[in-house]
Structures are given as structure tokens and as C-alpha cells.
Amino acid sequence: MNHLTIQEQAIIRQITAETNKKNIDNISRTEAYFSFFKKNPDIIWAFLASMVSRNGGWNMCDLQGSIFPQLITDMTRKQLFLTYERANWLIFHDVYPQLMVYQYSTKMNRQMFHLLPYFHVSAFIQKEWVRYWKENDKNRLTTCLIINEQNVIQTPVMEHPVYKKTVFQSKLFSFQDWLHFSCVLFPTCGGELYGASANGFKSLSKRINLGKRLASILFHPRLFPYFYEFAEKTPHTGSRFDYEQYFKIKTGQKTPILRASFPVIEHNQHKYEDWSKHRRVSPLWLNLPVRHRHPMHLTDWYFAKANQLQLILAFQKTMQLKKWK
């Protein structure tokens, strides 16, 4: 760090402090991504991150809602929350400094990407920021950020022995995967829902593919203004009421708000490893065109799923089955 100017050293300190301040919980991360996007609308990944982060918050709060506590043991719910929270935290810890370095570059009108190694980001994404500065290819940068972030969580979360055993190999997770409950939703203020579901979440390539599909839905020229209006008008609380308030029909599901449900988690920084040094970037991740095999309009689907959950709960009560682990 000795060969950096005093100004550059100050920028690094400032970005580190800012990242730590905003990486407190799902609410602060969601807001940070969205406010960055409003200042830098060319970095479309930031809006995608903000909307996906909202879904992370809803999934966390569902664990304390009116249904899951009757279906899943407390221990499993706690473990699921910690898994969502860890992945959320790791992605923000990795990407927010990248966004800030880009913002400084635009302010100073010269690229500052030589500062990226000080934030331990992959060599792969460092190259892509330099390329974006020269070529301004928004879609490529979006895809590369999706690839990078999914790789960032692959080893410390998806392959972590504890999460693997208690979460990804649990009956509940297979059940969610099978029923497509793990769906990323983009709501509108007109009470409509769009999105795509994430089955095969354990697969890195499937998660990258899902990210690309979600980006193409979110930035669909006809739909984008509606999603943006929702994000602008609706503070993120973590409760599903955030978007259910706009529905014509009420679902009767009750989910609490995040800050009343979960404590702030202190994370330890794991030993950093650059994933791009030992994992090849598949050409398919970059070049495979996006295909929507399922409808992206999900309003009816959502109500059907809510009914399915009620049926499962009723069945569980009738049979007095044990809760899922």
C-alpha cells in the first residue's frame, strides 16, 4: 500500500468503512444497492442485486411467519436464516467495494481499478471492470458480475460442510427445490408479480443461468418502469406485506418484518481465495443466450403456491407428522 498516493489510501479506507457500515443486515444491503443504482443507472446489476436482496429478506422473514414455524424445527429455521444471511453478507462484502471504486472512477474521470486488489476481488472481475470502462458493454458486465458473485459464495456457502449437511441436503431444501418455492419475484404497484424460480440451486451453472434470466426480466423495456416504481415507492422491511399490500386479493399469509425478527449477525471474514485462480470460467456462462422455458408472469402461480402451502400445513396437522429437519 506504500506506493499508493495519500488520496488513494484515503479512498480505500473510506470504501472499507462504507462497506462495513452498509453490510449490517439484509435491509441495509438492499437499500445500498438501490441507492447506488439511482446514482449510476448504467450499472444495471446493482438494481438486480437490490431486487434479489429483497427476495432474500422475504425468505428470511418467512421462516418466522405464520406457516414455516409449524412445519420446520427451530434449529433448522435458524440454520436456514444463517445460510441466507452468510451468502447475502459475502456477496455484499465482495461487490460493494467494486461499485464504489467504479463510482470514484466516474467522479475523477479516470479509472481507479488498480485499487481493486486491495479489496481481494477476483482477477476475473478486475479485468472485466477495466474492459467495461473501455467498451461500455452493460450486458457483458452484468453477466460477469452474476458469474463472479455466484462463484464467491460457491466454496464458503454452497460447499461449506455445515451448510451442506444441515441445509442443502435437508428434506426441506429438496422439497423447496421440487415445488419451486424458492422463487425470485419482481412485484409491481399494480399487484402483479413477475420472476423466475430457482430449482437446482445447488448447481453453480443453474444459479448463473437464473441470474441472467432474472436480469432479462427486470430490464425488459415494457416491465422495467413498473419494477423501478415499486422499488422507489416501497421501503424494504423483509415482510411479504411489502408487495402483498398491492394485491387485489389478500393471501392471508402473515410475515413479520426483518428487524423485529432477527438479530444483527457478526460475521468472521474467512480466509480469502480468488475463485478464478482455480475454477475455469465456462464459455457457456458468458455466451449461452437466455431462454425462458416458463412464463415470467407469476401472479396466478403465487396464489396457487400460497394455497399449496396451506394444504401441506393442513395435511401435516392431520397426520401429526414430525417437523422437517
pLDDT of residue 324: 60
Q: In this structure, is residue 310 part of a structural domain?
A: yes
Amino acid occupying residue 201? F
Q: Among residues of the chain, what percentage have pLDDT more than 90? A: 67
Q: In this structure, is residue 41 part of a structural domain?
A: yes
Span 115-136, pLDDT tens digits = 999 999 999 999 999 999 999 9
Instruction: For residues 156 and 320, give the distance between their C-alpha atoms in angstroms, rounded to a whole number.
Output: 37
Q: Does pLDDT of 214 surpass 60? A: yes
Q: In this structure, is residue 301 part of a structural domain?
A: yes
Span 216-242, pLDDT tens digits = 999 999 999 999 999 999 999 999 999
Q: Does pLDDT of 35 surpass 80? A: yes
Instruction: For residues 39 and 222, give the distance between their C-alpha atoms in angstroms, rounded to a whole number.
Output: 22
Name the more confident of 304 and 281: 281
Residue found by looking up cell 431486487 in the block: 51
In Å, how far are 96, 187, 188, 296 from 231, measured between CA atoms? 19, 9, 9, 19
pLDDT of residue 179: 46
Amino acid occupying residue 320? Q
User: What's the domain count of the chain?
Assistant: 1
* Cell output for 120: 481481494
Q: Does pLDDT of 325 surpass 60? A: no
pLDDT of residue 4: 92
Name the more confident of 262 and 321: 262
Q: Is residue 83 a contact partner of residue 167, using CB atoms and an 8 Å limit?
A: yes
Span 48-94, pLDDT tens digits = 999 999 999 998 998 998 888 887 888 888 988 999 999 999 999 99
CA gyration radius, the chain: 20
Q: In this structure, is residue 1 part of a structural domain?
A: no
> The domain containing residue 202 runs over which residues?
6-319
Name the more confident of 285 and 169: 285
Instruction: For residues 259 and 66, give the distance between their C-alpha atoms in angstroms, rounded to a whole number.
Output: 17
- Which alpha helices (DSSP H) does 73-183 contain, by range? 74-108, 123-135, 138-153, 161-163, 171-179
Q: Predicted confidence band at 305 (pLDDT cuts at 50, 70, 90)?
A: confident
Q: In this structure, is residue 119 part of a structural domain?
A: yes
Average pLDDT, the chain: 89
Q: Predicted confidence band at 294 (pLDDT cuts at 50, 70, 90)?
A: confident
Q: Could you report how far apart the first and last alpha carbons of the chain are, in Å?
A: 48
Question: Rounded to the nearest 5 degrees, what angle is found at the Cα of 47, between the Cα atoms of 44 and 52?
Answer: 125
Instruction: For residues 201 and 15, give the distance between their C-alpha atoms in angstroms, rounded to a whole number.
Output: 31
Q: In this structure, is residue 325 part of a structural domain?
A: no
In Å, how far are 90, 231, 241, 279 from 270, measured between CA atoms? 10, 32, 35, 18
pLDDT of residue 178: 45
* Cell output for 197: 424460480
Residue found by looking up cell 437446482 in the block: 200
Q: Is residue 40 a contact partner of residue 103, using CB atoms and an 8 Å limit?
A: yes
Instruction: For residues 34 and 213, give the distance between their C-alpha atoms in angstroms, rounded to a whole number.
Output: 20
Given phi > 0 = left and psi -120 to 50 = alpha, else beta, which region is 136? left
User: Buried b vs exposed e over 38-70: b needs ≥16 C-beta within 10 Å?
Assistant: eeeeebbbbbbbbbbbbbbbbbbbbbbbebbee
Most confidently predicted of 227-241, 269-283, 310-324: 227-241
Instruction: For residues 49 and 128, give the distance between their C-alpha atoms in angstroms, rounded to a whole number.
Output: 18
Q: In this structure, is residue 324 part of a structural domain?
A: no
* Cell output for 57: 429478506
Average pLDDT over residues 186-193: 97
